[in-house]
């Protein structure tokens, strides 16, 4: 009788314990061509994290949606060490659906020269680009990309100015909901549809002084000038803004005596897109080289 009671008691205890076990959420990871992805909420369709890059492309534009057969994931995160130690990578574009670049995502990619990051990326975690010594980050001013570049001493190239709208854009459709965090899509990203800026002369005038003249670009709001002592614009580099579209010259002082300077110029203008005020940059001019600075 005691044995029977003992067995019954054990069974009751086991049943009680089993009710306390909370099943873990299933993690669904799939190989989809060149990418290994994890569907965030389980299942086969939904938001996803790129957990590993399996391809070998040097110039890579990561798609917004990665799919294979019945599997389809919208890329929200570039996962931990997902592109780590890929020495063949040179140029990468992050999709406009991405919100997070995780720890060490592109760590030790020694030949990575350029990565373009959209304003949708709100967080870039530590060591994301450690060991990427050739890297320049291309992105919008006033975004996580610019902040990360400055905090980690990585060269940053602005492709526009991102401004959060103070009010939702108006619409003629009364029932349409406007997403205040919406970022411009590829189809609406502005460009300056004018002629390339043309530098007329680069003249060494007074001591440590350079004068640059150019042709006026129709419709320009202003101009951006870059100087450096090498063609790649990595040594003794400087950037200058000319805030009048009617200007056609700029005098730059306090340069290094005895050095030749490489000079390039582009026009820009302010445009409204999807409720945002952005700076749309034109193409860079042909590089001109100065004589040695006096």
Q: Mean pLDDT throughout 112-124? A: 95
Which pLDDT tens digit goes with each residue over 34-92? 999 999 887 889 999 999 999 999 999 999 999 988 899 999 999 999 999 999 999 99
- In this prediction the pTM is 0.52
Per DSSP bridges, beta strands 65-68 and 71-78 are antiparallel
pLDDT higher than 90, residue 25: no
- Give the residues across from 100 on adjacent strands: 77, 123
pLDDT higher than 60, residue 232: yes
Which pLDDT tens digit goes with each residue over 207-217? 889 999 999 99
The domain that holds 154 is classified in CATH as 3.80.10.10
**228, 255 in Cβ contact below 8 A?**
no
Please report which confidence band the pLDDT of residue 184 belongs to, taking 50, 70 and 90 as the band edges.
very low
Q: Burial level of 39, CB count in 10 A (0-12/13-18/19+)? A: buried
Domain boundary among 112, 143, 161: 161
Q: Is 237 inside a domain boundary?
A: yes
Q: Which helix (H) or strand (E) holds 149?
A: helix 144-151
DSSP calls for 15-39: HHHHHHPPPPPPPEEEEETTEEEEE
Whether residue 217 is found in the same domain as residue 142: no
State the sign of the Cα–Cα–Cα–Cα dihedral 179, 182, 185, 188: positive
Q: Which helix (H) or strand (E) holds 5?
A: helix 2-20
Q: DSSP 3-state assignment of 267?
A: strand
Rounded to whole angstroms, how far apart are CA atoms 200 and 203?
10
| pLDDT at 117 (0 to 100) | 96
Whether residue 228 is found in the same domain as residue 269: yes
29 against 279, higher pLDDT: 29
Domain count, the chain: 2
Q: Mean pLDDT throughout 191-196? A: 59
């Amino acid at each position: 009788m005691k044995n029977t009671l003992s067995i019954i008691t054990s069974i009751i205890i086991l049943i009680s314990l089993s009710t306390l076990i909370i099943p873990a959420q299933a993690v669904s990871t799939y190989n989809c061509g060149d990418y290994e992805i994890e569907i965030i909420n389980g299942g086969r369709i939904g938001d996803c994290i790129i957990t590993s890059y399996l391809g070998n492309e040097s110039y890579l534009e990561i798609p917004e949606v990665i799919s294979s057969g019945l599997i389809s994931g919208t890329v929200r995160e570039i996962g931990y060490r997902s592109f780590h130690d890929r020495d063949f990578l040179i140029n990468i574009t992050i999709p406009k659906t991405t919100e997070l670049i995780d720890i060490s995502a592109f760590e030790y990619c020694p030949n990575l020269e350029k990565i373009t990051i959209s304003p949708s990326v709100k967080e870039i975690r530590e060591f994301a680009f450690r060991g990427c010594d050739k890297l320049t980050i291309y992105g919008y001013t006033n975004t996580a990309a610019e902040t990360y570049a400055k905090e980690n001493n990585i060269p940053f190239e602005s492709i526009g100015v991102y401004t959060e709208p103070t009010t939702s854009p108006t619409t003629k459709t009364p029932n349409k909901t406007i997403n205040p965090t919406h970022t411009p899509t590829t189809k609406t990203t502005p460009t300056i549809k004018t002629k390339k800026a043309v530098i007329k002369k680069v003249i060494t005038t007074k001591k440590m002084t350079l004068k640059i003249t150019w042709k006026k670009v129709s419709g320009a709001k202003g101009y951006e000038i870059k100087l450096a002592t090498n063609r790649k614009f990595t040594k003794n580099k400087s950037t200058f803004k000319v805030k009048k579209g009617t200007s056609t010259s700029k005098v730059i002082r306090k340069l290094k005596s005895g050095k030749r300077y490489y000079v390039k110029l582009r026009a820009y203008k302010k445009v409204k897109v999807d409720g945002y005020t952005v700076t749309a940059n034109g193409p860079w001019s042909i590089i001109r080289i100065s004589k040695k600075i006096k």
